[in-house]
Structure 1
C-alpha cells in the first residue's frame, strides 16, 4: 500500500522574539528560556567597559554643556565626580559618539529643575549625588533611554522630599511638556500652599562663598549655646551683604540718596564701613559703623559687630529720617560719628584694649543714626523690576535659592507665571481675577459673643455673593480667646477652649457653600495653647506652633460634612479645607510668584517700651502726606468715595497724620531690619534653631502684621504691601466688624467695614 501522506509534526507556538528552536520538536519540549538579542534602536548595547577619564580631558566638554548652554559653573570637586560618572557609564564612546555631552546636558537640566545654584556643587540648593543616582538608572549603553524612569521617579529637592514640580523626564519633548501642562489643575487653589515656620528650609548664609547653604545640623528645642550667638551673627551677615549691594556703597557708581547720612560725598565716592576693632589708634577720626545695639554689663549703650564692641554716645545723635523709625537694643543700625580714645571712659575696662573679641577703650560719639536701607524683592532675587517678566538682570542675586521649599524663582518662576496665566484664561478673565482675593480677620476672640455675631456677618456677606466674587482663602488670626489657657488662675480651661472652637464649627456649618470653595487658615496668638499655660499670655517663645488637634476636631468635621454634601462636585476645584499653621507662617500662591507672610504680635507696644530716647524734636505733622495709605478708621471722605463706601465726617487731621506716621514708622523699622523680631532674647524669646523662619529676606510680596493695639492700615514700602487688620471688633465700637480683603494680582489690601 502506497503511503499517500504522513502525519505532520505538532506545531509549537513560540514568541516572535524567541530565535532559539526547541531542542526536540518531535516530542514538543518547550523552548529554551534564554533569548538572543541584537543591538538596535529598541535594544541598545548594554555592555560598557568603564574607563578612567581624566578631569582635564572632560573639562572642555563640561564647559560647553554647563557654562555655555546653561550658564552654570562647575566646582573642581563636582567636575571630578562627573568625570568618574561619565567614565563609568559612557566608557570609551564618551567622545566619538557624543555620549558625555548628552549625559552632562541632562545633569544640568536636572540641577536647574531641583532649584540648584549657579555654582554646581553640594549644598547649593540641590544634590549632585542624588541627581547622578537618579540618572544612572536611565542610562543603558551610555545613552539615556526613552521612557525609562529613575528608581524613585523624581529629583530630590533641597528639603530632601520629592517635589511634584520636579518630576524627572530626560527625553521629554516640547509636545510632551505641553501635554503635561494641559493635565495640570487650572484652579488657583490647587497652587496654594501653607508653609509653617517648622517646615521652612533652614538656610545659612556662607560669607566666604556669598551664597545660602542648607544647615547640616538637625533642629532641636535644646540646642548648644553656640547657636545663640549664631542667631545674631546670621542676622548681621544678611544685613551686611544686603548693605554692600546698595548703590551708596558701590565705589564705581555715583552717590545715591538711599542712605542720607550727615556726611557729604563727591560724585565718584561712596560710603565705607569700618570694623570696630580698627578704631584703635584712630582717635578723632570720623567713621561709619554697622553693628548691633546692645546694653553692656555696666548698663551703657554699646555697638557690637563681629570684630568687637565700643561704648556708644548718642546724646547728640540725629535720627535719619527724623522720627522715622524705632531704635531698640537688638537692632542692627548704621551709625556715623567720631571715635574718641579715652582711658577713663566708662566701660573701657571691659576687655581692656584687647581689640578683637572684647570692648575697646574709648567711646564712639554718634552724629547720625539710621537703619540699614531695605532691598526690594526683585533686586534680592536678581529679577527685573517688571513683575510680569521672567528675565534676569546681569547682577545675579539669589534667584536660584529655594527659600520656602516651593521652588526657586529662577527654576520655577517662569513656569508658575505661565500656569497662573492659564488659570486666569481658563474662566472668564474678569471673574478669575476677582476670585484671587484673601480675606484677613484678626483678633478673633471666640469667647466673646460679639465676635460670634461679627463672624456671622462676614460669612453671610460673602455667602450672598456669587462664587467668582468670593475669596480663595480666609485667614483667621488669634488670639482666639481673650485670656490664656490654664487650669486655674482666672484663665479658661482646656475644656472651655475647645467649646469656643465648637461654637465656631456651628457658625461655619451654616455656610456650607463657603466651606466647599475656600481654604481656611488659622494662625494662633500668644494666648492660645499651649505656651499661654505657663506664660499667661505674656511674651512667649516664637515661632509658635499651631493650635493642637485636640481642639480642632469639630471644625474639621464641619468641612468634611460640607464637602460630602456637594451637589455638583468638580474635579478641577479642590475640596475646601481648614489648615492650622504656626505663627509666623507663609501662604504661597503659584510657587514663588506670590508670598504672603502672616505674623501675629503686638509689636508696636514692645517698640514703645524698649526704644532708645533721643533728644530730637518731634516731626511736623504737616509734612506727612498720605500716599498709598489706607488708615482704617482714619479715612477721609475722599478715600471713602474712591472705595465705594458712604462718606462720613472726617476725623481730626491731627489724628489722621499721627496714625499714618505711626504705621509708617512701624513698617519701615521691621522691613529695614529684615526680621520679625528685632529685639534681645530677654525681651522677645526666640527658638534659636528656628530663627530663620523670622527672616524677611527676600521681602515677601505681602506682609500681614497683625497688631491689635494700633489702627488698621495698608501701606506699601519697597514693593512689599504691609497690612494690619486690627481687631475684628474694635474696642470703641462694639457693633462694627472690620477686616481686610487682599487682592493678590494688584498686591493691594482694602479695608472692609460693616455693622451687625
Structure 2
C-alpha cells in the first residue's frame, strides 16, 4: 500500500450509502467526518424572511382590494403606514409575487371585524390594530399565516367571552377573538344556551369612555386615564359633548334636512309669506345674532343662569339673555324645562346698547354674552331619535338580515360588541336560547325580570313584604320564574353615619344580615336566579359625606363589608344542588353601581338601571313660563316645531290610575306627570339634565349617564313619582315607585318586566 495515499473509508463510498461526504482536507490525510443528509420525510426548516422597505403607496392597491372591496372597510393613512411596515418586515420580497400580502391583509381585516372594530380601520376605532398585528406575527411562518393558530387567549369559562369582543386591554380597545367568522355556527353549537349565561351586569365605571368627534362625525375612545381630580378642561368637555351629541342628532332629523337633490323624502316644512319656496328648519348660532335685530331665528342652546340671576341660552359660540315670559311650551305642559337642559327656542332677537345684568355691551363679539336679548315665542326639547335609527338598523332586507348601512352600528357602546359586528350572530343565539329547541327543553323559557325600588330594610314591614314577593315566584314552575331580581336602594331611610350613631355601619350590616335570613328561606330562587343590588343616596359610603343629599354619580356599589352574609346564603344554596347534568349557571348575587347596565345577548338588550328622585328635582328647578295666546301669530310653525320635537310620538302608559280607565280621553295626573318625566329625560339624552352643583357628575365618567343611543329599556326608579310603565320612541321606561306605598293597608308594589316583549307591568298585592 502506498504510504502517501489518503486513507479511505470504502463503506462510505458505496452506492446508496447514507453519508457520501469525503474528508474536507484529503491532501493532509484528515479523516472524513460523517455528515448526515436530510431525510426525505424530515420536516423542512423554517424559512427566514429578508425584510424590505415597502412604501405605503405601493401597498395601497392591494389594501384597497382587500379591505374595501372584500370586507367593506375603509383604511386610514396611518393604518396603511403601519400595515406597510408590517408586510415589509414579515413578507419580504414575496409580498406581491407569492400573494403573501393579500393573505395577511385578509386575516387582519377578518380579525378587525371579529374584534368589533369600526368601519374605519384606525387605531382606537373600536379595536386595537397593534394587538391584531402582534397576534398574527406570532403565528406567521415564511411570510404566511399558519391556519388555526390565531388565538391569542383562551376564552374564559364565562360564555360572554366566547365569540364576543368583550375583553378589553388597558388602552380600552377590544381584544381579538380566535373564533373564525366562517365557523361561527359550529362554535355556537358548543355554547351554553341558557339565558342567564348571556346576562352581563356592567358597572358605570367599566363602560367604554366615548366622545363624539365633530370633525370625523364618529365616536372615539378617550385614552386618558380617568381620575377623580381631572383638570377643569374636562368639565368643559362634559357639556360640549352633550351639546355635540344633541346637535348631530338634530341634524339627522328630517325636519332639519334640506330637500335639495333628495326626491320622495318627506320632511317637515314651514311656510313664509316672504318666500314662494318652502324650506326646512335651520339653526342659527348665537354669535350670528349680532347685527340682526328684529329678525326671527331658531336657536339650540343650553339653559343656564347668569351670575346676576338672569336666564341665558348658551351654545359653542356665545350666550344671550333669554326672555321666556311670552313663550309657548311645545307640547303644552308636555315636558320640563330647567337650567342644565338643551332646548330649541324659536323667537326674535332684539339688540340693545346695554343688556341689564350683562357684562359686555352690544358689540361684544364672539365668545361671550352678546348684547340685547332673545324673546322666545316657543320652546321645546330636541326631538328624540329611535335606537334603530341611531345604530342604522332600521331597515330589514328581504332575507331578514338587519342592514347597518348608516348610523353608529360599528360603535361598541357597552363593551360587549357592536351591533354590526355581533348583532346577527347574537340574534341567532337569542332565538335558540329563548325560543328553545324541542329536543332540548319541554317549553321555551320566559325571560322575566323583577324590579323593586326603595327597599328600606330598616322598616320591619319590608322583610314581610319581601317574603310575599319571593313566595309569589317560588311556587311557579322553573321556566316561569324570573331570571333576575333587581333590588334598589335606598336600603335605609336615614343616611348612614349621620346623626349621633343612628343608622350607623353596624346597624346597616345587621339590616343586610336580616335580608340574608329571608333569602335563605327560598333556596330555589337563589339557585336559579341572579340578584342585582343597586345603591341609593342613603347607602354607604357616599352618604357618609353627603348626609343623604344628592351624591356624585356614577357612584360605586355597596362595599363588601356589608354583603358577606348574603353571599354566604347564595353559596350554601348552590352547594345543595347538583349541576353535573345541567348547563344552567349557578345563582349569583351582583352588587353594582348607580347607574348600571344590564346587557342580554351582547348589544341586543341594553337595560339601564338608575335610582334617583328626578321628578322632585325637576319640579323644584323648572322654569315657570306663562303662555300668552293673544300673541300667537305663527301657530302653524309652532305646531310643526312641536311635531319635530316628538309631540306626535307614541307615548303609551301601561299601568297608571286604573280607577278612571273607562272614561274616554281621560288622562290622570299621574299619567301626565309620568309622560312629562319620560319625555324630558329621553329627549335630553342623559340621566342627569341638571347643573353640576344640583346633581354632581364625575367629569371623567360623564359618558356613563348618557342615553345615546336609546336603550331598549330604562328603569328610572323615582320614589317621588307614581309607578308606571310606558314606551316612548321604542324605549320602554319603568318606575317601580316605592316598594311599600304609603297607606293604612299593608301593600307591596313592584314591576315584572318581560324582556322578550319589552313590556313591564306594575304588580301590587297585599301581605
**Bin of the TM-score, shorter chain as denominator length:** 0.7 to 0.9
**Corresponding residue to 2:344 among 334, 346, 356:** 334
- Structure 1 residue 674 displacement after superposition: 0.2
Structure 1 distance, partners of 2:121, 2:101, is: 17
Counterpart for residue 79 of structure 2: 78
Relative to structure 1, the CA distance from residue 34 to residue 373 in structure 2 (aligned partners, 3 Å threshold; closer, same or farther) is: farther
- Structure 1 residue 502 displacement after superposition: 0.4
**Corresponding residue to 2:590 among 566, 579, 597:** 579
Tell me if 1:349 matches 2:359. yes
Counterpart for residue 137 of structure 1: 138
**Corresponding residue to 1:316 among 323, 326, 347:** 326
- Structure 1 residue 242 displacement after superposition: 0.7
Relative to structure 1, the CA distance from residue 691 to residue 522 in structure 2 (aligned partners, 3 Å threshold; closer, same or farther) is: same
- Structure 1 residue 168 displacement after superposition: 3.7
Tell me if 1:242 matches 2:249. yes
Query: If the length of structure 1 is used for normalisation, what is the TM-score?
Result: 0.88
Counterpart for residue 663 of structure 1: 674
Tell me if 1:420 matches 2:430. yes
* Secondary structure class of the residue paired with 2:403: coil
Which consecutive residues of structure 2, in runs of 5 or more, have no partner in the other structure? 1-17, 23-32, 156-163, 630-646
* Alignment check: 8 A CA contact 2:172 2:223 kept: no
Tell me if 1:118 matches 2:129. no
* Alignment check: 8 A CA contact 1:123 1:213 kept: yes
Structure 2 distance, partners of 1:163, 1:190, is: 24
* Alignment check: 8 A CA contact 1:515 1:577 kept: yes
- Structure 1 residue 393 displacement after superposition: 4.6
Counterpart for residue 106 of structure 1: 107
What per-residue deviation string (whole Å, max 9, x for no partner) do you get for residues 328-380 of structure 1?
A: 00000011111111013213433763322210101111111110000000111
Counterpart for residue 655 of structure 2: 631
Relative to structure 1, the CA distance from residue 143 to residue 153 in structure 2 (aligned partners, 3 Å threshold; closer, same or farther) is: farther
Tell me if 1:551 matches 2:562. yes
Counterpart for residue 158 of structure 2: none
Relative to structure 1, the CA distance from residue 52 to residue 162 in structure 2 (aligned partners, 3 Å threshold; closer, same or farther) is: closer
Alignment of 1:613-692 (within 5 A): 613-616=624-627, 628-632=652-656, 634-636=657-659, 657-692=668-703
Counterpart for residue 381 of structure 1: 391
Relative to structure 2, which stretch is displaced further, 260-269 or 104-113? 260-269
Structure 2 distance, partners of 1:660, 1:233, is: 34
Structure 1 distance, partners of 2:20, 2:713, is: 73
Tell me if 1:404 matches 2:414. yes
Structure 1 distance, partners of 2:273, 2:431, is: 48
* Alignment check: 8 A CA contact 2:685 2:708 kept: yes
* Alignment check: 8 A CA contact 2:387 2:710 kept: yes
* Secondary structure class of the residue paired with 1:365: strand
Tell me if 1:61 matches 2:70. no
Relative to structure 2, which stretch is displaced further, 654-663 or 311-320? 654-663
Relative to structure 2, which stretch is displaced further, 228-237 or 728-737? 728-737
Structure 2 distance, partners of 1:218, 1:35, is: 59
* Secondary structure class of the residue paired with 1:746: coil
**Corresponding residue to 1:293 among 287, 299, 303:** 303
Counterpart for residue 577 of structure 2: 566
- Structure 1 residue 304 displacement after superposition: 0.4
Relative to structure 1, the CA distance from residue 708 to residue 430 in structure 2 (aligned partners, 3 Å threshold; closer, same or farther) is: farther
**Corresponding residue to 1:361 among 344, 366, 371:** 371
Which consecutive residues of structure 1, in runs of 5 or more, have no partner in the other structure? 1-18, 24-30, 639-649
* Alignment check: 8 A CA contact 2:745 2:766 kept: no
- Structure 1 residue 732 displacement after superposition: 2.2
Structure 2 distance, partners of 1:166, 1:98, is: 27
* Secondary structure class of the residue paired with 1:115: coil
Structure 1 distance, partners of 2:174, 2:44, is: 31
* Alignment check: 8 A CA contact 2:354 2:362 kept: no
* Alignment check: 8 A CA contact 1:130 1:156 kept: no
Structure 1 distance, partners of 2:120, 2:64, is: 13
Structure 2 distance, partners of 1:693, 1:577, is: 25
Query: If the length of structure 2 is used for normalisation, what is the TM-score?
Result: 0.87
What per-residue deviation string (whole Å, max 9, x for no partner) do you get for residues 442-484 of structure 1?
A: 1111111111111000001100001000011000011111111
**Corresponding residue to 2:704 among 689, 693, 707:** 693
* Alignment check: 8 A CA contact 2:391 2:404 kept: no
Counterpart for residue 494 of structure 1: 505
RMSD (Å), alpha carbons: 3.2
Relative to structure 1, the CA distance from residue 554 to residue 655 in structure 2 (aligned partners, 3 Å threshold; closer, same or farther) is: farther
- Structure 1 residue 426 displacement after superposition: 3.8
Tell me if 1:474 matches 2:497. no
* Alignment check: 8 A CA contact 2:713 2:758 kept: yes
Question: Aligned residue pairs: how many?
Answer: 710
Relative to structure 2, which stretch is displaced further, 217-226 or 482-491? 482-491
Structure 1 distance, partners of 2:496, 2:172, is: 38
- Structure 1 residue 530 displacement after superposition: 1.1
